Structure 1
Amino acid sequence: MQIADVLRHKRARDAAEVFTIVPSETVATLLATLAEHNVGALVAVDGDDVVGIASERDVVRRLAADGAAVLEQPVEQIMTSTVLSCASGDAVDGIAETMTQRHIRHMPVIDDGRLTGLVSIGDVVSSRMRQLEDDRGQLEQYING
């Protein structure tokens, strides 16, 4: 199974839109956008370039360190700027392993230099569960003739 399969499943559920933010926007704007779209992270972009990712976790950690003043800081002050990404053709199992080992909850999908999707660890686990269910069904069918 490939990341493209995960994105296809998300599109079928109308959940594949990638929400972005400009790094100069405030953390307050980031939080409002996260809440508006009910997502856990936004990809920070400069034009067509992915320059970071900002998640609820980033906000909480900075809030603990800086207090409420963080709300007026630009997103670029709290975002993760070293972004691990994947491509549509990458194997889900490999991406799952990377996300687990590196404690990454969201990974942008970049194809030909363009942001084409975002996968979460939940998306990856869900795809693996679907695959296991399919395998189980095939085994039952084989055993039952």
Structure 2
Amino acid sequence: MRISDILRRKGHQVATVSPDTSVRDMLAVLAEHKIGAVVVMAGPEIAGIASERDVVRSLHERGADALDGAVASIMTRVVHTCAPTDHIEGLRPVMTELRIRHVPVLEDGRLTGIVSIGDVVKSAIDQLETEREALVDYLQS
């Protein structure tokens, strides 16, 4: 299965903010879309990714003042990306080893989607279920 298969099922929508967006406003975007991370865009380029975890760390370090700071001050700047043509099986160990939950999808340098660890796990479960059904059909025939 490829990343494009996940995007075909879930859609290509990606919530984004700019680096100068306040953390408080970023939290509103997360709540509005019921998501755990946003891609931080500086024009057409990915500047970083900011998640609920980043907010928690910042609150722990700086207190409530962190909410009025810019997303640029809390975002993760090194962003691992993938392409729609990449295999999900290759992304699973990367996400596990690097402990990342969200991977933006780039096609020809353009942001075209985002894949979460939940999407990857769901695809693995779906694949196992398909294999199970095929085995049951084989055994019953």
Residue 50 of structure 1 deviates from its aligned partner by 0.8
Output the amino acid matched with 2:117.
I
Residue 47 of structure 1 deviates from its aligned partner by 1.3
Q: Structure 1 residue runs of 4+, over 4 Å off?
A: none
Query: What is the TM-score when the length of structure 1 is the normalising length?
Result: 0.95
Matching of residue 88 in structure 1 with residue 88 in structure 2:
no
C-alpha distance in 2 between matches for 1:47 and 1:136:
46
Query: What is the TM-score when the length of structure 2 is the normalising length?
Result: 0.98
- What is residue 130 of structure 1 aligned with on the other side? 126
Q: Identity of counterpart residues, as a percentage? A: 50
SS in 2 for 1:44: strand
Q: Select 2:24's aligned residue among 24, 28, 37.
A: 28
Residue 18 of structure 1 deviates from its aligned partner by 0.5
C-alpha distance in 1 between matches for 2:132 and 2:9:
20
Q: 1:50-107 CA deviation, whole Å, 9 max, x = no partner?
A: 1100000000001000000101110000000100000011110110110000000000
C-alpha distance in 2 between matches for 1:10 and 1:131:
16
Output the amino acid matched with 1:35.
A
Q: Select 2:46's aligned residue among 39, 46, 50.
A: 50
- What is residue 10 of structure 2 aligned with on the other side? 10
Residue 9 of structure 1 deviates from its aligned partner by 1.5
SS in 1 for 2:59: helix
Output the amino acid matched with 1:3.
I
Q: Select 1:76's aligned residue among 58, 72, 75.
A: 72
Aligned residues: 141
Output the amino acid matched with 2:110.
R
- What is residue 60 of structure 1 aligned with on the other side? 56
Residue 46 of structure 1 deviates from its aligned partner by 1.0
Q: 1:21-55 CA deviation, whole Å, 9 max, x = no partner?
A: 00011101111111111110000001111110000
C-alpha distance in 1 between matches for 2:8 and 2:33:
20
Q: Select 2:106's aligned residue among 107, 110, 114.
A: 110
C-alpha distance in 2 between matches for 1:54 and 1:112:
23
Output the amino acid matched with 2:93.
E
